[in-house]
Chains A and B, each alone.
Chain A
Amino acid sequence: MSRFNPELLPASFVPFASSSAFTKKERTLIPEKEKSENVVYLHSIPSLFDELKITDGMTLSFHHHLRNGDYVFNMVMEEIKRRNLKNIHLAPSAIFPNNQGLSELIENSNVTNITTNYLNGPVAETIGQGKMQGLLIMDTHGGRARAIESGDLKIDVAILSTPAVDHLGNGNGIEGPSACGSLGYAISDLKYAKKVVLVTDYVIDSLKRVDFPNEYVDYVVKLDKIGDPKGIVSGTTKITKDPIGLKIARNTVKLLDELGFIKEGLSMQTGAGGTSLAVAQYVKEKMQEKQIKGSFASGGITGYIVDMLKEGLFEKLYDVQCFDLQAVKSIKTNPSHIPMSASVYANPFDPKVIVDKLDFVILGATEIDTNFNVNVTTDSKGLIIGGSGGHSDTAFGAKVTIITSSLIKSRLPIIKDKVTIITTPGEDVDILVTERGIAINPKRTDLLQKLTNSKLKIVPIEKLLETSHKITGEPNRIELKNKVIGLVRYRDGAIIDLLYQYK
């Protein structure tokens, strides 16, 4: 497990034992926030700071549904800087490149700790350079919901961008100029933060649907604009045209079919990357050919998955975040396209958890090792470029977890003896599909047995590692500095790995 020495962990943290260790624990729930009597309407971020007396050391949370088009997070950062507040703990569900202004606040110790599920861009670089005084804690999507409801992540003020709000203080994500669809990542913040603020640019008399009930809401801040719709959609939601990606996708679906997963009632999740979408496309063709209907698809939802719902290939979609405007439109109008909270999506302790009902999930990797541990948190140089998001959650829950990746990326082999950082433990990763062969985790003897007579090229992962080294040579191991800059927190709250400053 990279350089992880559990003995170095602060006493309040528990080292990772196994992905199913949580099943022996009870769910911990702090009381939900006090119901608010009246919702107070404000018209600026500074007035919000005055009203709530936001001060040094507080924890502020945000959601990332407006993604790279979000203005609210940046406006709050500006205000922290203007007031020169210190030691702020930020807990956004993700940080994007457009939040680059945060770097300066980190360097000036305005912000000293961050808890998030995903980050990339300039802020990731600043933290990677060891410039943050405190720690970065990286949760999974389900793990963040667990951390909030259990009190591991105590939020003073949840500042939630809300595309539409009514005069009673209810909010939703489907109306207004900044409509982004599902607001699933914010539901735990809404229920458990000490104070909840909806920030909107669209106030109307009544909403078509309520995602944020006003009983949880203390303040509404009405601004001119909360986001840029162009940045709200993910930029990567197109099927790949790369022949290698398409081959991987084709073989993934052939494999799923041979394993018997393309069947009536199937449930699945794929990402929004080009190869994942190609998998969805080939699954769709196979389902049409077999004339079958799936039960549901889940996760971040794209237009391709919406098309499958419209064509009657799924009964339902469970949507924690919309990846494009087609998905936003669908969740607004189609009752079978159902928003879900991050807790229902992936919290290991949530009794309704969706990930446990998945037949298969298609995931990516920046690195995978011969024990099938996966890194999606850093690149091979140790620079933070992402994070689990729902990776570990779905890998645990789905009956079969498939990693699709080309064997070599930017001249570097994707398979390592040991990954730089473990995001998702190998015990939950079953299959790696590459262009030069498919490796099955030897622990899944059931899958290996089913594939005994497969026409697909099934090879040990060590063989794929050898093949990639023949092409690229064996890369040098990356040396990281000794300074721990963060923790990778598994969904149950245990620490699965440490993040180090990169050289």
Chain B
Amino acid sequence: MRRSLLFIPGNNPAMLQNADCFESDAVIIDLEDAVHVNEKDNARNLVHCYLESLTEVPMEIVIRINAPDTPYYEDDLEQVVSEKIDAIMLPKASPASCFLIDQVLTIIENDKKMNKKIGIIPIIETATGVLQMGEIAKMPRINGILLGAEDLSVDMEVERTKKGTEIWYPRAKLAYTCKALKIDAIDTPFTDTSDNEGLKEDALKAKELGLNAKAAIHPNQIDIINQVFSPSEKQIIWAKRILKATEEAQAKNLGVFSLDGKMVDKPIIERAQKIIKMAQKYRLD
């Protein structure tokens, strides 16, 4: 039930220091694209020290490791996997790479005698990945999938546009796949950090298709993303009324009842419950 996930370069101490201030539901500490090959060791060390220093943070911590076809991913995992993190983000994911990371994580968790099971968030950023999405989503530890539209557009040899027509299909497929498996459908970042209106429009498009979260590449994008993917005040009021009416109906042993002239049944009640759960989680109620 994440709404926003903020990328933070793993080699940027100032950003790391303030990671807990940006109000994203998760931060993705990046050891991959944001870090030059010559900086990989430094970044790993920095992230390790940062994680060591953490006591309590209000957000999830996700680490984007280097892809398993690089020489870096094993060191990444060895240094950063601990009780302090929540998930590993896996670039250019395939069923095989998800399986591999699951195996490595299991070994590290056992070695470190961890009580926590680290999740995996694969990134779908190739045409093959899109076709394998259903299979990837069913792999162990997967609790969300991120669409990586920039690399996907390159793979598809199509222009990446603000309109986003070129990613309509993968977005829709992501929404259905994740909804079916009750995991997070995370939209690709909006790369123009100065265009707030464009960001809002883009996030709304993703939401309309059924995605429930969006990645951000700048902290100033978080507020808009959180607003778009949060239930509105009107929805919260509606949900509260539904749940109150449900309680009253149950007291009268009514299975189906009506409110404001509209029938209220199980799917409606479940939707109201979800809205309230989310509102409570994000202190919107």
A residues touching B (Cβ–Cβ < 8 Å)? Answer: 241, 243-244, 246-247, 250, 408, 435-436, 455, 470-471
Contacts and interface: CB of A to CB of B under 8 A. Distances in A.
Of B18, B218, B220, most A-chain CB atoms within 10 Å: B18
A435 B21 contact: yes
B113 interface: no
A247 B23 contact: yes
Interface residues of B, number: 13
A246 B21 contact: no
A455 B17 CA distance: 24
A68 to B, nearest CB: 29
Of B23, B218, B222, most A-chain CB atoms within 10 Å: B23
A436 B220 contact: no
B284 to A, nearest CB: 8
A243 B55 contact: no
B220 A241 contact: yes
Given A455-B283, A470-B55, A244 B21 contact: yes
Contacts of B223: 250
A247 B20 CA distance: 12
A244 B220 contact: no
A435 B220 contact: no
Given A241-B220, A435-B21, A471-B17, 15 more contacts: A243-B22, A243-B218, A243-B219, A243-B220, A244-B18, A244-B21, A246-B220, A247-B22, A247-B23, A247-B219, A408-B17, A435-B18, A436-B20, A455-B283, A470-B55
A313 to B, nearest CB: 21
A435 B222 CA distance: 15
B217 to A, nearest CB: 12
Contacts of A436: 20-21
Nearest to A471: B17
A244 B220 CA distance: 9
A471 B21 CA distance: 13
Interface in B265-285: 283
Interface in B196-232: 218-220, 222-223
Contacts of A470: 55
A246 B218 CA distance: 12
Interface in B207-262: 218-220, 222-223
Question: 10 tightest CB-CB pairs across the interface, nearest first?
Answer: A243-B219, A435-B21, A243-B220, A455-B283, A244-B18, A243-B22, A246-B220, A244-B21, A436-B21, A247-B21
Interface of B: 17-18, 20-23, 55, 218-220, 222-223, 283
Nearest to A435: B21
A290 to B, nearest CB: 15
Nearest to B219: A243
A247 B22 CA distance: 8
A408 B23 CA distance: 18
Nearest to A246: B220
Contacts of A471: 17
B50 to A, nearest CB: 11
20 contacts: A241-B220, A243-B18, A243-B21, A243-B22, A243-B218, A243-B219, A243-B220, A244-B21, A246-B220, A247-B21, A247-B22, A247-B219, A250-B223, A408-B17, A435-B21, A436-B20, A436-B21, A455-B283, A470-B55, A471-B17
Contacts of A250: 223
A244 B22 CA distance: 7
A414 to B, nearest CB: 14
B236 to A, nearest CB: 13
Contacts of B23: 247
A455 to B, nearest CB: 5
A315 to B, nearest CB: 30
A252 B55 CA distance: 27
Nearest to A434: B21
B267 to A, nearest CB: 30
Nearest to A457: B58
Nearest to B222: A243
Contacts of A435: 18, 21
A178 B110 CA distance: 74
A431 B220 CA distance: 24
Contacts of A246: 220
Contacts of B222: 243
A243 B222 CA distance: 10
Nearest to B20: A436
A408 B21 CA distance: 12
Contacts of B22: 243, 247
Contacts of B283: 455
B106 to A, nearest CB: 33
A455 B101 CA distance: 39
Contacts of A244: 18, 21
A319 B23 CA distance: 37
A85 to B, nearest CB: 50
A241 B194 CA distance: 10
Nearest to B218: A243
A471 to B, nearest CB: 7
Of A243, A244, A250, A408, most B-chain CB atoms within 10 Å: A243
B84 to A, nearest CB: 15
A130 B17 CA distance: 38
A16 to B, nearest CB: 36
Contacts of B219: 243, 247
Nearest to B282: A455
A93 to B, nearest CB: 37
Nearest to A251: B23
A471 B223 CA distance: 25
A455 B218 CA distance: 24
Nearest to B283: A455
A475 B22 CA distance: 26
Contacts of B218: 243
Nearest to B21: A435
A246 B220 CA distance: 8
B13 to A, nearest CB: 10
A277 B227 CA distance: 23
Nearest to A455: B283
Contacts of A247: 21-23, 219
A436 B57 CA distance: 11
Nearest to A248: B21
Contacts of B55: 470
A464 to B, nearest CB: 13
Contacts of A243: 18, 21-22, 218-220, 222
Nearest to A470: B55
A329 to B, nearest CB: 27
A406 B222 CA distance: 19
A471 B17 CA distance: 8
B10 to A, nearest CB: 18
Nearest to B22: A243
Contacts of B220: 241, 243, 246
A435 B218 CA distance: 16
A473 to B, nearest CB: 11
Of A246, A247, A471, most B-chain CB atoms within 10 Å: A247
A333 to B, nearest CB: 32
Contacts of B20: 436
A469 to B, nearest CB: 13
A470 B55 CA distance: 10
